[in-house]
Amino acid sequence: MQGVFDLVGNTPLVEIIRLNPHRARGVRIAAKLESRNPGGSVKDRPARGILLDAEARGILPGRALLDATSGNTGIAYAMLCAARGYECHLVLPANASKERLAILRAYGATLHLTDPLEGQDGAIDRAHEMAKEAPARFWHADQYANPANSLAHFATTGPEVWRQTEGAVTHFVAGLGTTGTLMGTARFLREKRPSIAIAAVEPSGPFHGIEGLKHLATSHVPPIFVEKEAGLRLAVATEEAQRLTRALAREEGLLVGGSSGAALAGALRVAAEAPPGSLVVTVFPDGGERYLSTGLLG
């Protein structure tokens, strides 16, 4: 019998069949289906790692957890804090999808909504302010700067990709949000295969509609991000990400969010240049159920 902390990770790796035109020449694309985590997204991994690290260092229990989120890390925090009996305060833009807000409230989190025009950076700034205003009450988890974020992927996502592909992975592609998924997974895979090609996907401009991803040139760059380790940088337009998100549902039977469509766009570009026999692995961060009210899936 397992608790919710024990259910994080070990998500399936699914091959993309109909949307991969390069399969005919022996280039495969596969994606980690992170919606199969108990909290429904890849963010269960860093949230779990951050909480366990805080407990090991004696930070929790004692104060309320506080962090900025675009939604998915907040859901993971709220779920795991509920399981441990911790108070959870989350700062996020007020235009987060109705589904995300409802899930957060269902887990009992206290929400602090910020101006949508300030984007995720506005939420980050407000979380820093709250932590400074009440340091005795709040512990600022700070997922963007917390080393436990990328370490969680080094310890779980990377080993899973290596094991599930039986060491055959040749390329790894991931979106840039907190950047933890790319940083931690790439470091692990490079230790196993120094020649592995790494590619980072980000929105093509500052004003975009790909939830969970950051246009780093015009955003607060997460302190855990190391540019020289990011590999090839791929810019994806919102329209391309949305088109592929809808296609994943209708042609692959995978109901995923917009950042997954962006990840597939990056993987397809990498696959187009890859030699026969290559295996391109990417990450689909969450499911499409929490975006149904946004019109993303038509």
Residue 148 lies in a domain: no
Domain end among 140, 165, 181: 140
Residue 147 lies in a domain: no
With cut-offs at 50, 70 and 90, classify the pLDDT of residue 212.
confident
Mean pLDDT of the chain: 95
Average pLDDT over every residue of 23-51: 98
Q: 203 and 248: one domain?
A: yes
Contacts of residue 110, Cβ cutoff 8 Å, sequence gap at least 6: 87, 88, 89, 90
**Amino acid 294: pLDDT:** 87
Q: Which residues are catalytically annotated? A: 43, 259
| CB contact at 8 A, 219 and 120 | yes
Give residue 125's domain range. Answer: 44-140
Q: 28 and 162: one domain?
A: yes
Q: 288 and 157: one domain?
A: yes
- Note the helical H segments in the chain: 44-56, 72-84, 98-106, 119-133, 147-155, 157-164, 180-192, 238-251, 258-273
Q: Give 243 or 1, the one with higher predicted confidence.
A: 243
Residue 243 lies in a domain: yes
Q: Is the peptide bond before 61 cis (omega within 30 degrees of 0)?
A: yes
Average pLDDT over every residue of 43-67: 96
Q: 126 and 260: one domain?
A: no
How many distinct structural domains can be found in the chain? Answer: 2
Q: 256 and 174: one domain?
A: yes
**Amino acid 231: pLDDT:** 96
Q: What share of the chain has pLDDT > 90, as a percent? A: 89
| Cα dihedral: 181, 113, 121, 298 (round 10) | 60
Residue position matching structure tokens 């790909």: 210
Q: 98 and 158: one domain?
A: no
Q: 246 and 134: one domain?
A: no
**Amino acid 211: pLDDT:** 86
Q: What is the pLDDT of residues 98-155, one digit of tens each?
A: 888 999 999 999 999 999 988 888 999 999 999 999 999 999 999 999 999 999 999 9
Average pLDDT over every residue of 62-86: 95
Q: Is 186 helix (H, G, I), strand (E, B) or coil?
A: helix
With cut-offs at 50, 70 and 90, classify the pLDDT of residue 1.
low
With cut-offs at 50, 70 and 90, classify the pLDDT of residue 297.
confident
> Tell me, what CATH number does 177's domain have?
3.40.50.1100
pLDDT at 298 over 80: no
Q: 179 and 200: one domain?
A: yes
With cut-offs at 50, 70 and 90, classify the pLDDT of residue 70.
confident
Domain end among 98, 113, 140: 140
Residue 145 lies in a domain: no
With cut-offs at 50, 70 and 90, classify the pLDDT of residue 97.
confident
Q: 278 and 160: one domain?
A: yes
Query: Whole-angstrom Cα distance, residue 155 to residue 105?
Result: 30
Q: 209 and 186: one domain?
A: yes
| CB contact at 8 A, 122 and 93 | yes
Query: Whole-angstrom Cα distance, residue 128 to residue 66?
Result: 9
Domain end among 82, 115, 140: 140
